């Protein structure tokens, strides 16, 4: 009898232990599930509320919103903020250092019927030498802001410096040369001997406390496949023959872009000779060229006023073809992007590769054949 009671007690104890174990396990599983659900909800909320471009959250290589190509300067899936640098256009300054590695180049006349300058914007290539660096012009400031670029320059016109010294845009002036951002090269006459590099500018920007990740929303690009974009074959149909686009900038600044159907890219010539990069000895090329017609007028001595906001006639070149439409850039906010709209009013998809933007006077001759 005593033995039977002992067995019952042992069985009851074992049953109680089993019930407790099951209850603890169930509680753990429910808690773990709830934790996963909460963490998943937080993760989704963070992704949905993120201000970073969608390309940054995608799997695989991080793609530049400017070129549509993988970006080697991306760190931990984040694209860096672009750096814009003023370039000389003078013959004596050629070949320019780093010009072929710029993601965007904006060219315009800074003196009517005379001299051009360029703003080269770098994001994805850590260029070891950039220059020669020249002075700021106020017409380039809204354009640099539209690409969310930190503006690098060697002094500037009083029109530009009045705005830059007021802090209208993050900028790094070589006349102040914070943290050794710029240097002068021996054997080159002034004012063409001023240079910088990606590491120098980016390092200075970091020490100046500037934001270092991009907020530029980017442009749509043609993709090799996908329902939302025309195929390369469709986009390049009719672009197999050699094509030449000429811009009637004056004298030594005359530009030709010659399309190579095999490489699916345009090669740049200036003043009748190939535009080469001093660093690499490679010829400058572009996936897309945008020619923007606008009002240009002389305002003081050697200074122009170029209308870079508002809207105007656009001619866009990609895959050896010409598209027509309108360009637009809002006056406010200053950071409003420059847009390229087709005849249907929609954003034109760019070809992968660097983008060249050519501002021309309304009477400047532009040929394509």
Burial class (CB in 10 A: 0-12, 13-18, 19+), 330: middle
- Position 301 confidence tier, pLDDT thresholds 50, 70, 90: confident
| For residue 335, cis peptide bond before it (omega within 30 degrees of 0) | no
pLDDT in tens, 118-172: 999 999 999 999 999 999 999 999 999 999 999 999 999 999 999 999 999 999 9
Q: How many Cβ atoms sit within 10 Å of the Cβ of residue 3?
A: 7
Domain residue limits, the chain: 1-49, 83-368
The Cα angle at residue 98 between residues 92 and 102, in degrees rounded to 5: 120
Specify the pLDDT at position 59. 57
Q: How far apart are CA 320 and CA 210, in angstroms?
A: 39
- Position 24 confidence tier, pLDDT thresholds 50, 70, 90: very low
pLDDT in tens, 341-359: 999 999 999 999 999 999 9
Q: How far apart are CA 288 and CA 267, in angstroms?
A: 11
Q: Which residue has the higher pLDDT, 185 or 7?
A: 185
Q: Write out the two tokens for 286.
A: 């572009």
> Which whole number is the average pLDDT over 209-216?
97
- Record the pTM: 0.82
Query: What is the DSSP annotation of 202-245?
Result: HHHHHHTT---B-------B--SS-TTS--HHHHTTT--S-EEE
CATH of region 83-368, choose from 1.10.8.590, 3.50.90.10, 2.60.40.10, 3.40.190.170 = 3.50.90.10
Weakest-pLDDT range from 22-26, 203-207, 262-266, 283-287:
22-26
CB 105 within 8 A of CB 357: yes
């Amino acid at each position: 009898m005593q033995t039977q009671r002992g067995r019952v007690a042992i069985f009851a104890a074992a049953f109680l232990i089993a019930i407790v174990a099951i209850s603890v396990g169930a509680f753990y599983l429910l808690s773990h599930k709830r934790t996963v659900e909460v963490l998943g909800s937080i993760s989704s909320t963070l992704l949905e509320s993120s201000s970073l471009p969608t390309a940054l959250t995608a799997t695989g290589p991080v793609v530049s919103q400017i070129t549509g190509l993988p970006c080697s300067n991306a760190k931990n899936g984040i694209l860096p903020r672009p750096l814009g640098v003023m370039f000389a256009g003078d013959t004596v300054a050629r070949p320019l250092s780093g010009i072929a590695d710029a993601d965007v180049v904006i060219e315009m006349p800074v003196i009517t019927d005379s001299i051009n300058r360029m703003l080269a914007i770098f994001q994805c290539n850590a260029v070891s030498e950039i220059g020669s660096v020249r002075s700021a012009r106020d017409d380039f400031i809204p354009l640099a802001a539209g690409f969310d670029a930190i503006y690098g320059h060697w002094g500037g016109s009083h029109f530009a410096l009045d705005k830059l010294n007021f802090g209208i845009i993050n900028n790094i002036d070589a006349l102040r040369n914070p943290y050794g951002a710029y240097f002068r090269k021996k054997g080159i006459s002034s004012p063409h001997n001023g240079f910088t590099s990606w590491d120098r500018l980016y390092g200075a920007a970091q020490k100046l406390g500037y934001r270092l990740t991009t907020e530029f929303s980017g442009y749509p690009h043609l993709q090799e496949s996908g329902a939302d974009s025309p195929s390369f074959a469709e986009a390049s149909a009719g672009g197999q023959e050699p094509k030449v686009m000429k811009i009637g900038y004056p004298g030594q600044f005359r530009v030709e872009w010659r399309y190579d159907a095999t490489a699916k890219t345009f090669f740049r010539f200036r003043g009748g000779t190939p535009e080469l990069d001093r660093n690499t000895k490679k010829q400058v090329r572009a996936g897309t060229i945008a020619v923007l017609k606008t009002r240009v007028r002389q305002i003081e001595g050697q200074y122009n006023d170029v209308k870079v906001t508002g809207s105007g006639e656009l001619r866009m070149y990609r895959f050896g073809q010409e598209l027509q439409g309108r360009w637009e850039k809002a006056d406010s906010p200053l950071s409003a992007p420059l847009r390229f709209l087709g005849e249907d009013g929609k954003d034109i998809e760019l070809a992968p590769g660097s983008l060249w933007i050519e501002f021309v006077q309304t009477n400047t001759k532009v040929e394509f054949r």
